[in-house]
Amino acid sequence: MSKETASKSEYLVEVNGLKQYFPVKVGFMKSLPLKAVDGVSFAIRPGETLGLVGESGCGKTTVGRSLLRLYTPTAGDVFFDGERVDEKSITHMRKQMQMVFQDPYSSLNPRMTVEDIIGEPLDVHKLYASKGERRDKVLELMELVGLNAEHATRYAHEFSGGQRQRIGIARALATNPRFIVCDEAVSALDVSIQAQVINMFEELQEKLGVAYLFIAHDLLVVHHISDRIAVMYLGRIVEIADSNELNENPIHPYTQSLLSAVPYPDPKMAKERQRIVLEGDVPSPLHMPSGCAFRTRCKYATERCAQECPGLTDRGNGHQVACWVK
């Protein structure tokens, strides 16, 4: 695994060998570790967007949550702005690292008004001197995300999915964070609303210089918004590269089949493309295959793939791949 040794200023977020195991009961006294995240390393520069893609069960959501210390990592380090993230430092770091959630319906408290929802981070960190100041800040944030100021006293359930997501984004921006984890933030929205929210993410990045970890399963969206993309499979990153580079030149067999499976909204292209259809199903993370986790579905698998797990190796141009064969 290549460790990226960086000076304090270059990387905003650095993750090294992050592991997150959850014990799962499988018998009377037995429990097996569910290796949701099994050794993940990456780094994000200030103002950059790293896309994290993979299918269900690959661990991408867990990475986001472990990063923000919603779970205590089983192993590995996370550095924010050069400082290590741990039990103590997380309290003041929470102002700088925030999250936007997937489900606009369950991520907002149905009993709170919009003003209270957006103002909560301000309350927790005591970022205002008076009620008036709080109100002003909240209204400012609402304007930033395109919400009508007169809606501040309404309740969350009166809004549509897209508007709720904006409320969630306003909440995430309340403490002026430098890094936001977007956990499938647009996946639950209608197509026409997705575009509005995606554009808003981009505008906010231009205006405020926020860095994003954009977790999603829709490759076209991720490709559009990310500077770099990391592909995950069963808890490990199998490939990481610049967005365009990954799309034009995918090296890892999983990435290749993933990209070829994405349906293009274009009939002529759809008919012309070559599909690489993977056989079989994803193995259970409780019983991961030895060595490379992908070898059970890979047509290039060799002996070595079963014995040793490949680490990420540099192929030039910042393009890293974890594969023995390719």
Partner 1 sequence: MSTRDIDKMPKKSPFSFQIDLQKFEKATDEEKRQQDVMSESVSFFKDGMRKLMKNPLAVGSIIALILIIAMVIIVPRVVPYSYSQIITVNGKRDKTAANMAPFEYSEKELEYMADGGEVFPHIMGTDELGRDYFVRVVYGTRVSLIVGIFAAVLVLIIGVIYGSISGYFGGKVDLIMMRIVDIIYSLPDMLMVVLLSVVMREILSVDKYPMLQKIGTNMLSMFMVFGLLYWTGMARMVRGQILTIKQNEYVLAARVSGAKAGRIIRKHILPNSVSVIFIAAALQVPSAIFTESFLSFIGLGVQAPMPSLGSLASMARSGLTEYPYKLVFPAILICLITLAFNLLGDGLRDAFDPKLRR
Partner 2 sequence: MSETILSVQNLHTSFKTDKGSVKAVNGVSFNLDKGKILGIVGESGSGKSVTAYSIMRILESNGSITEGQVLYKGQDITKFTEKQMREFRGKCCSIIFQDPMTSLNPVFTIGMQLKEAIELHTERKGKEAEARAVEMLTLVGVNEPEKRIKQYPFELSGGMRQRVMIAMALACEPDILIADEPTTALDVTIQAQILELMQSLQKKLGMAIIMVTHDLGVIADMCDEIIVMYGGRVCERGTAEDIFYRPHHEYTKGLLRSIPNVDRIGEKLVPIPGTPINLLNMPKGCAFCPRCENAMKICIEEQPPEMQMPDGHFASCWLNVKAEMEAQKGGRQ
* Interface positions with partner 2 (CB under 8 A): 55-56, 160, 162-163, 190-196, 198-199, 202, 217, 219-221, 223-224, 243-244, 247, 257-258, 260-271, 275, 277-278, 281-282
Candidate segments 36-44, 120-128, 186-194, 240-248, binder of partner 1 by CB under 8 A:
120-128
Among 51, 168, 235, 291, interactor with partner 1 by CB under 8 A: 168
Our finding on whether 110 is near partner 1 (CB under 8 A) is yes
The stretch near partner 1 (CB under 8 A) out of 16-24, 77-85, 168-176, 217-225 is: 168-176
Q: Which of residues 19-38 bind partner 1 (CB under 8 A)?
A: none
Closer residue to partner 1 (CB): 112 or 306: 112
Min dist. Cβ of residue 294 to partner 2 (A): 12
Rounded distance, CA 11 to CA 5, Å?
10
Which conformational region is residue 129 in: left (phi greater than 0), alpha (psi within -120 to 50 degrees), or beta? Answer: alpha
The residue (of 111 and 299) whose beta carbon lies closer to partner 1 is: 111
5 binds, among partner 2, partner 1, none (CB under 5 to 8 A by kind): none
Shortest Å, Cβ 263 to partner 1: 24
Closest separation between CB of residue 130 and partner 1, Å? Answer: 20
Report the C-alpha dihedral over residues 297, 301, 303, 304, rounded to 10 degrees: -100
Given 125, 137, 315, 326, the residue binding partner 1 (CB under 8 A): 125
Nearer to partner 1, 124 or 261 (CB): 124
Q: Is 107 in the site for partner 1 (CB under 8 A)?
A: yes
Q: 32 or 198, CB closer to partner 2?
A: 198
Question: Smallest distance, Å, CB 62 to partner 2?
Answer: 16
Residue 179 CA, chain-centre distance (Å), reads 11
In the complex with partner 2, which residue's Cβ is closer, 90 or 282?
282
User: Please, how many CA atoms are within 13 Å of residue 118, restricted to the half-sphere of its CB?
Assistant: 33
Among 3, 84, 111, 299, binds partner 1 (CB under 8 A): 111
Q: What is the 3-state secondary structure (H, E, C) of the chain?
A: CCCCCCCCCCCCEEEEEEEEEEEEECCCCCEEEEEEEEEEEEEECCCCEEEEECCCCCCHHHHHHHHCCCCCCCEEEEEECCEECCCCCHHHHCCCEEEECCCCCCCCCCCCEHHHHHHHHHHHHCCCCCHHHHHHHHHHHHHHCCCCHHHHHCEHHHCCHHHHHHHHHHHHHCCCCCEEEEECCCCCCCHHHHHHHHHHHHHHHHHHCCEEEEEECCHHHHHHHCCEEEEEECCEEEEEEEHHHHHHCCCCHHHHHHHHHCCCCCHHHHHHCCCCCCCCCCCCCCCCCCCCCCHHHCCCCCHHHHHCCCCCEECCCCCEECCCCC
Interacting partner of 121 out of partner 2, partner 1, none (Cβ under 5 to 8 A depending on kind): partner 1
Find the binding residues for partner 1 in span 67-106 (CB under 8 A).
68, 70, 91, 94-95, 98-99, 101-103, 106
- φ, ψ (nearest 5 deg) of residue 238: -100, -25
81/218 with CB nearer partner 2: 218
What does the binding site for partner 1 look like in residue numbers (CB under 8 A)? 65, 68, 70, 91, 94-95, 98-99, 101-103, 106-112, 120-121, 124-125, 153-155, 157-158, 168, 171, 174-175
